[in-house]
Structure 1
């Protein structure tokens, strides 16, 4: 079977780094066309730097990296150093990257790549605010008919938000971009907080990474150790959620997840609920379904997949 062409749109972030690593550990499954970078967890210069650090760590420096939007469409940029640390990848000291940033803007790369490929063949894994994708769709309306699917981490339903009572960070940072994407007609697979909070990074699970006899295992263990401390303090939990890798995990083993195809709308105006994903789980609105929303995961199977794949990395 031919490898699935994917573009990873990201704002690394420790959990983004795990998602990139998981994709890099499955190069026989994925043709990683490029990594497009957006401001989000930390400002754009740092997210671009972090994407290159992670690719080099994982032995994937051949994957091109493109810098994209440095701010949301309309809102001022809000970042999350309080979660990820000043660098965005606090927890393990990764070397300065040597691979180049590609010329041109990330949105140009998305448009040119998707339009050059057969229709419905390219999947976008969206791990951060949806600004790059929204700009690309606005600039080239035909893109919506050519993207195969977007698998995104974002939103929340009954779990509540993680940056406001109503909103999850990725959607909150650029709700206008999210609204455009959710209205686009592109097939969407959504992994909200409701599913990511069901697979915490417990000490035993992190220890499995640390025990891997390669450079990536201990590096990722350090990143995860740092990242979980915020959520443990916030939620009083043992370990923290590992959000973004679930997008790649769903592509690799969709049988680990379950959910429902429903309508999702994005709140952009209310000061109380800006960025809320209004998920019509019970089909009470009559609005047409536009997204497969995943709510359950085999958490042990998810970590078995991660460890098995990460053992293949350098």
Structure 2
């Protein structure tokens, strides 16, 4: 393996990530024949196949999976070394890999923007996805930091509190329950409801609350976008539960309902794998994140 080049390992890692020579070539700005040639040379160096073709799908062999894990460790160590050198020089530079749940996109990019203004040499890879995919990314150790409301309990994590994340019940301002106070949660029975997609942490929290109180709503729509849900509510298609962070005071067609059991009290956490050695850049952003949320806050409450 000492004959393998870092370039070959980078090409291999990219092919493994996409499961495709063509997509790897596009990402690396090289030709597909070059990718094929590099993989042929690396396979000869290892002495065993790294990929197997099943139908049209490219899969890693057992040896390929071991090499991929090794590549990740190698490039993480090299990235860390570059960041340490930059830190010694008095600058912050390197790559920050961040994954956040969908609702966090309402405040994380803004904080990232402020951070990158102070540290312009930092390169950010931001993945915005649902809770289910965040969990998968944690198992695969794909990112430095994760921002979510409900850290999985079956993964060893360090979870640090950021701020509160109340989930509120949102309706069209002309809804029959709008303006009423202390509405019994049973009043939601048979209400037309807009639910987040399966795998959403918000959906899980709503289902737990409704299950506890034996509330049965009529799910009219399932949507994976908070903005699409707000448009559906404004259009009179039903009510829904959203993070307060997704709401803005200028959304005059919407209102929050004062139903018992709401808001659902949740919190935002920043998490990273237990035992993971954070890079200089990741540690700097972690500290910046705490400082920013404690000092400024990001909540924008919708008037009911």
TM range (shorter): under 0.3
| TM-score, normalised via structure 2 length | 0.23
What TM-score do the two structures reach when normalised by structure 1? 0.23
Name which one, 1 or 2, has greater alpha-carbon Rg.
Answer: 2
The structure where helix makes up a greater share of residues is 2
